[in-house]
Structure 1
């Protein structure tokens, strides 16, 4: 009798353990299903990037190097099946997105354009040299501007993303440059659109092509404190994950595909 009871206990225990493991496995699978991976890419190198000119809402074409960078990123991400893709109507962003998707081995989505992914609007500084806009702001904070952006992380750490944007807006003689509130308002609208689309279409992987100042703003807006003034290089990939109404960062400024 004891042997029978012992055998029954082992059987029931085995069923219980199997059920528990199965439930855990199902939970992990469910978590993965609810997760969205976002590949946030800066556009390829442009003519204004090469000449050191301010480039926000103003646009300039991708250079040969910029085109090659976009193709390299596309090749690096070619096995990823993108469910959604976004840029703004700026040619440098749109064309980078097209070049990335052209390398993909899967069926690719149509690129949706949203103003929220545009670069900051630098107002009266658009098209002027970087030095004209940035030197006074750096010097006002006891820092030195150079084309290698050596002290930029120090500027961001001192002023924050908001302080940098508002300093530019304050310095703009035309008073057209965006304030931080202007920038984040459209950025939040853009990310709300991405999340809404992802839920409607059950999307798991998203490509977004944006710009060098807007990407840090999106990071600071979505995950405050994660961005510490790191360079956002042309065609670098910043990877985010979204689950349960929260964002997390995997990588910032990943340049493995273009190095």
Structure 2
């Protein structure tokens, strides 16, 4: 009888452990299959955007139009329940994020600042005219510079972001501009941090406010085969889906909320 009871206890323990293991496996699979939506927003228009000055790590304030468009975007996104929100410490990004979150009808997450979402660092070209920085890059590759940037797309197609960033860094008289590898390293670290935070907090919707040069880099890092160099306008929304270790682009440079 004692042997029988002992056997039954052992069997019960095995069945219980098996059930717990199955539940843990199911929970793990459910967590694995959770989809995260990332909303990549370019900051509102700034003073330097208006004057055609280089603006990377240096900053300038949002214009009245930039503030208004950020508010409009916030209205357009107000029904999305953002679980997490990020920008860098650049004022133009931080203030755009705050204006968007001020309009949300749902709970407002704390804004986290990550250096990885800063614009490219243009070193000695910061604050100078776009022409001073980009004309030598274009001309050394057989293109002409004009204020409309009509040949910029062709140059991107030829050089890629890597070629452009490395040429700017090479030309920089202060030798302070970032190389493409440096830009990618911090961008990758920032995206990894966001996904880690999202999984930890079971987040489904994440707001990321960054810049016109950095967002294409983030797309190249996460979904290189899908991103084809589409323009990223001020206050545009680019939507990324993340699931099971894979990113998929849902939309690029969407301006429907501000038009």
Report what 1:173 is aligned to: 173
Residues 152 and 229 in structure 1, CA contact (< 8 A), matched pair in contact too: no
Report what 2:81 is aligned to: 81
RMSD: 1.6
Residues 156 and 228 in structure 1, CA contact (< 8 A), matched pair in contact too: no
Report what 1:24 is aligned to: none
Give the TM-score of the pair, scaled to structure 2: 0.87
In structure 2, list runs of 5 or more residues that go unmatched: 1-29
Report what 1:211 is aligned to: 211
Note the alpha carbon deviations across 1:146-192, whole angstroms, 9 max, x for none: 33222222111101111111011011011000000110110011001
In the alignment, the residues of structure 1 paired with residue 223 and residue 83 of structure 2 have an alpha-carbon distance, to the nearest angstrom, of 23
Report what 2:23 is aligned to: none
Classify 1:236/1:202 alpha carbon distance in 2 versus 1 (closer, same or farther; 3 Å).
Answer: same
Pair 1:69-2:69 in alignment: yes
Residues 33 and 243 in structure 2, CA contact (< 8 A), matched pair in contact too: no
Question: What SS does the aligned partner of 1:167 have?
Answer: helix
Matches within 5 A, 1:81-120: 81-120=81-120
User: Aligned pair count?
Assistant: 232
- TM-superposed deviation, 1:42: 0.2
- TM-superposed deviation, 1:33: 6.0
In the alignment, the residues of structure 1 paired with residue 164 and residue 226 of structure 2 have an alpha-carbon distance, to the nearest angstrom, of 17
Report what 1:142 is aligned to: 142
Residues 38 and 239 in structure 2, CA contact (< 8 A), matched pair in contact too: yes
- TM-superposed deviation, 1:111: 0.3
Report what 1:152 is aligned to: 152
In the alignment, the residues of structure 1 paired with residue 118 and residue 125 of structure 2 have an alpha-carbon distance, to the nearest angstrom, of 16
In the alignment, the residues of structure 1 paired with residue 237 and residue 45 of structure 2 have an alpha-carbon distance, to the nearest angstrom, of 14
Report what 1:236 is aligned to: 236
Note the alpha carbon deviations across 1:99-124, whole angstroms, 9 max, x for none: 00001000110000000000000000
Pair 1:190-2:182 in alignment: no
Residues 33 and 204 in structure 1, CA contact (< 8 A), matched pair in contact too: no
- TM-superposed deviation, 1:66: 0.3
Residues 32 and 244 in structure 2, CA contact (< 8 A), matched pair in contact too: no
Question: What SS does the aligned partner of 1:257 have?
Answer: helix
Residues 97 and 209 in structure 1, CA contact (< 8 A), matched pair in contact too: yes
Note the alpha carbon deviations across 1:35-89, whole angstroms, 9 max, x for none: 0000000000000000000000000000000001101110110100000000000
In structure 1, list runs of 5 or more residues that go unmatched: 1-29
Question: What SS does the aligned partner of 1:249 have?
Answer: strand
In the alignment, the residues of structure 2 paired with residue 39 and residue 155 of structure 1 have an alpha-carbon distance, to the nearest angstrom, of 28
In the alignment, the residues of structure 1 paired with residue 109 and residue 31 of structure 2 have an alpha-carbon distance, to the nearest angstrom, of 24
